[in-house]
């Protein structure tokens, strides 16, 4: 006859093993999901066929409330639309890395860019760009100024830019900065100067 206290001990050990197993499986799944999410958030690799160029990016630095020019080597296609998209993506890539001078939400990306006339461009962003953008007048304006100034510095001939979110118009980026209007690049240039 097995003593009762021994039976209880064995039962408790078995129960502990079972609970540990469940916790480990749960943690493994969670880790896999996080890894997958992070992988999805990384911007798409440069298009093969473009040539590497040394370009200037105007980046936002939240701590200093400033915009600063930084250089980067980026693969840029010859096509004007693709060149504009990759230029914008190279700015977002800087914000999505850790640590970031101006953190943006995972999943922030440029879905598409297209010209509706020679000098007027529409930038279509992912929903995460606006949905996950930190709310605040300065933070939102720095994002837009950084993108528009970098764009005009590297893709000549753009006079007006408008942003869409997931293919649709939105009133503001995150409650403050105007997304309904077309931005004249000359006006944004003057605005950006205040932060440089």
Partner 1 sequence: MRWSRTGVGLAVVALCFALAVSGTAPEQQLTVYTSQTSYSLPALDRGGKSYVSVTDLLLPLGATKPILKGKEWKFALNKAEVRLTKGKEKATIGGKQVELGGKLLVENGRVMLPMVAVLPVLGRLLNTTVDYHQPARRLFVGNTFTRFTADFKNGEQPSLVLSFSQPVTVNEDHVEKRGILTHTDTTTLIFAKDPVVSDLKTQQYGDGAIQSLSFSEENGAALLTVTGNKQLQVVCSDDGNTITLQAQAPEVSAVPPPVRPSVPSTETQKRPLEFFVMIDPSHGGTDKGASFGGKLVEKDITLRLARELRKELEERGIAVRLLRESDVDLSLDRRAEITNEQRVGIYVALHAGRPGKGVRVYAPLLTDPQQPLAGRFLPWESAQSGAISRSQTVARAVSDELRKKGLTVTSLSMPLRPLNNIAAPAIAVELTPDEDDPQSLESQKRHNNVATAIALGIVQVRNQMEGRL
C-alpha 162, offset from chain centre: 18
Q: Which window, 41-49, 71-79, 138-146, 150-158, contacts partner 1 (CB under 8 A)?
A: 138-146
Which of residues 62, 111, 131, 189 is near partner 1 by CB under 8 A?
A: 62
Pairing relationship of beta strands 66-76 and 110-117 according to DSSP bridges: unpaired
Q: Is 181 in the site for partner 1 (CB under 8 A)?
A: yes
103 binds partner 1 (CB under 8 A): no
Binding region for partner 1 (CB under 8 A) out of 50-58, 61-69, 92-100, 109-117: 61-69
Nearer to partner 1, 58 or 76 (CB): 58
- Complete DSSP assignment for 127-138: HHHHHTSPP-HH
φ, ψ of residue 20 in degrees (nearest 5): -60, -40
Contact pick of 47, 136, 153, 189 for partner 1 (by CB under 8 A)? 136
Q: Does 115 bind partner 1 (CB under 8 A)?
A: no
Piece of the chain touching partner 1 by CB under 8 A; list 26-34, 76-84, 124-132, 180-188: 180-188
- 134 scored as a contact of partner 1 (CB under 8 A): yes
Tokens matching residue 93: 């890539």
What are the CA-CA distances from residue 58 to residues 22, 30, 108, 169, 189 (Å)? 49, 36, 18, 25, 11
* Rounded-to-integer distance, Cα 41 and Cα 171, Å: 25
Contacts with partner 1 in 29-58 (CB under 8 A)? Answer: none
Could you list the beta-strand ranges (E) of 94-151: 110-117, 120-125
Q: Would you count residue 178 as binding partner 1 (CB under 8 A)?
A: yes
| Distance separating the N- and C-terminal Cα atoms of the chain | 85
Residues in touch with partner 1 (CB under 8 A):
62-63, 65, 134-139, 141, 160, 171-172, 175-178, 180-184, 187-188, 191, 194
């Amino acid at each position: 006859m097995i003593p009762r206290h021994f039976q209880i001990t064995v039962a408790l050990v078995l129960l502990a093993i079972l609970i540990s197993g469940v916790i480990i499986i749960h943690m493994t799944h969670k880790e896999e999901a996080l890894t997958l999410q992070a992988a999805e958030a990384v911007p798409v690799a440069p298009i093969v066929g473009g040539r590497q160029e040394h370009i200037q990016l105007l980046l936002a630095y939240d701590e200093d409330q400033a915009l600063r020019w930084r250089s980067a080597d980026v693969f840029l296609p010859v096509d004007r639309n693709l060149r504009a998209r990759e230029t914008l993506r190279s700015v977002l890539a800087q914000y999505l890395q850790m640590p970031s001078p101006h953190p943006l939400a995972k999943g922030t990306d440029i879905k598409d860019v297209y010209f509706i006339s020679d000098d007027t461009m529409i930038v279509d962003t992912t929903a995460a760009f606006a949905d996950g953008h930190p709310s605040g007048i300065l933070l939102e304006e720095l994002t837009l100024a950084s993108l528009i100034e970098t764009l005009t510095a590297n893709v000549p001939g753009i006079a007006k830019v408008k942003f869409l979110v997931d293919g649709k118009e939105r009133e503001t980026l995150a409650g403050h900065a105007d997304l309904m209007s077309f931005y004249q690049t000359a006006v944004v240039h003057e605005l950006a100067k205040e932060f440089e």
